[in-house]
Amino acid sequence: MIKAILFDFNGVIIDDEHLQLKAYRTVLKEEGIDLTEEDYFSSLGMDDVRFVQAAFARAGIPLPDIVLTGVIERKTAAHRLLIEDRLPLFPGVVTFVKAAARKYPLGIVSMARRSEIDFVLERANLNSAFSVIISAEDVQACKPDPSCYNRAFLSIDEKIRGAAKLAISPNECLVIEDSPPGILAGKGAGMQTLGITNTVSEAELRKCFYINLGLMLIIAVLVVYIVLGVLYESFVHPVTILSTLPSAGVGAVLALMLFNTEFSVIALIGVILLIGIVKKNAIMMIDFALDAERTRHLSTREAIYEACVLRFRPIMMTTMAAMLGAVPLAVNFGEGGEMRQPLGIVIVGGLVVSQMLTLYTTPVVYLYFDRFRLWSQRAWRRRGARDAALPAE
């Protein structure tokens, strides 16, 4: 449950990133520095001091303290001149902030100077809406360091306790940010984060939420390996079963590229589902082959061949059932279908490619791993025999 909301300032409350860029360009041009859009947007999350230091460092120009102070003051003046006649607030932001302030304690966490924030809030008549304001002067580190949000949380929690209300936890705070460094700072403070595409693209913001994606997938595969290892009492056969997963991943990525669909959170859910769905082909074949080897004493080659022949129809039936069940999702059918579409595309694409490949690759992998198992056993026995033949000292 959300109990407090923390806003970034530039790019969330006020639509002035392009004006900040213009003001910086004006003052830095006087110092012989050309500021590009790429330089500016790659420095989001910095305060004025670090931004100017980075600009001078890129240009290879020394920066005395007196010059640093002068550049920042002139930039602040240039920015204020640009917003003085017309305050470029985002449409509806005043109504939203005032409505939210009636229900939640609000705060601003920004790397802007406090004078810039106060000027805008006073002009917009929003001074009383925010109970906490953390500006560049209040912290030592810039975003994505979470210290700014940690400090804001402590201040809001103190005010809530002072009002004789129950204390809150960081995950009950919502952070509204427009830049990757801000989202990382909010996540680093343990807060819920909401990215809005006022400044950078959705794809850029989404990357911040995928930082632990690789670790999560590795853990999922590791858990599957452990479960299969317990079931088959083997270290080798689970690897054979998991060898079907790369083909499914390739199919999912190719399908997303074919339909020009971004890899979203919904698509990630589809990939995780594929981990459970795709490996059933190998399980059906290997389970049958192992049983044939143990009960009817067939050779490995004969067992896996018979498994492929007898399990072909069940494999096709289950794959087609799963694939056809995902088709309505993939064709964007029904209300809200655009949100579910990546899930269907990933499942269908992964199943199609894995079905075409695993019927051929799984028997091959099974045979090679079985040969490796037998070779390892023979090598272990030979080593044991040599150790037994050595005279005791």
Is 318 within the bounds of a domain? yes
Single-letter code of the amino acid located at 360: Y
Is 391 within the bounds of a domain? no
Identify whether residues 161 and 264 lie together within a single domain: no
Single-letter code of the amino acid located at 390: L
b/e code 213-229 from CB counts within 10 Å (16+ = b):
eeeebeeeeeebeeebe
Residue 43 backbone phi and psi in degrees, to 5: -110, 15
Identify whether residues 317 and 229 lie together within a single domain: yes
Distance CA 193, CA 323 (A): 34
Distance CA 174, CA 102 (A): 16
Burial class (CB in 10 A: 0-12, 13-18, 19+), 2: middle
According to the model, what pLDDT value does residue 37 have? 92
Please give the full DSSP string across 46-112, using - where no structure is assigned.
--HHHHHHHHHHHHT----HHHHHHHHHHHHHHHHHHHHSS--BPTTHHHHHHHHHTTS-EEEE-SS
Single-letter code of the amino acid located at 19: L
Identify whether residues 250 and 326 lie together within a single domain: yes
Distance CA 82, CA 115 (A): 15
Rounded (5°) CA angle 17-18-19: 90
According to the model, what pLDDT value does residue 101 have? 93
191, 208, 225 — which closes off a domain?
A: 208
Identify whether residues 363 and 261 lie together within a single domain: yes
Q: Is the peptide bond before 144 cis (omega within 30 degrees of 0)?
A: yes
According to the model, what pLDDT value does residue 211 have? 66
Distance CA 70, CA 62 (A): 14
208, 239, 273 — which closes off a domain?
A: 208
Distance CA 238, CA 97 (A): 54
Distance CA 340, CA 325 (A): 13
Identify whether residues 185 and 280 lie together within a single domain: no
pLDDT tens digits along 174-197? 999 999 999 999 999 999 999 999
Is 196 within the bounds of a domain? yes
pLDDT tens digits along 318-343? 989 988 988 888 887 667 777 888 99
Identify whether residues 223 and 128 lie together within a single domain: no
- Closest to 268 (Cα-Cα) out of 332, 319, 338, 212: 212
**What domain count does the chain have?**
2
DSSP category for residue 236: S
Identify whether residues 148 and 285 lie together within a single domain: no
Is 392 within the bounds of a domain? no
- Closest to 197 (Cα-Cα) out of 182, 212, 214, 213: 182
CATH number of the domain to which 237 belongs:
1.20.1640.10
Alpha helices by DSSP H, listed for the chain, are: 17-29, 37-41, 48-59, 65-84, 93-101, 114-124, 147-162, 180-188, 202-208, 213-232, 237-242, 245-258, 265-295, 300-310, 312-330, 337-389
Is 142 within the bounds of a domain? yes
The number of angstroms, rounded, from the C-alpha of 310 to the middle of its chain's C-alpha atoms is: 42
Q: Which residue has the tokens 């030592």?
A: 140
174, 192, 208 — which closes off a domain?
A: 208
Q: Containing domain of residue 43, as a range?
A: 4-208
DSSP category for residue 36: P
Pairing between β-strand 173-177 and β-strand 192-195 as defined by DSSP bridges: parallel
Identify whether residues 202 and 218 lie together within a single domain: no
**176: its two tokens:** 């509204």
Identify whether residues 231 and 169 lie together within a single domain: no
Identify whether residues 272 and 199 lie together within a single domain: no
The number of angstroms, rounded, from the C-alpha of 34 to the middle of its chain's C-alpha atoms is: 34
User: Per the confidence metrics, is the pTM higher than 0.75?
Assistant: no
CATH number of the domain to which 161 belongs:
3.40.50.1000
Identify whether residues 222 and 163 lie together within a single domain: no
Is 107 within the bounds of a domain? yes
- Collect the ranges in the chain with pLDDT lower than 70: 163-164, 209-212, 333-334, 384-385, 387-393
Is 240 within the bounds of a domain? yes
Is 314 within the bounds of a domain? yes
According to the model, what pLDDT value does residue 67 have? 93
Identify whether residues 218 and 159 lie together within a single domain: no
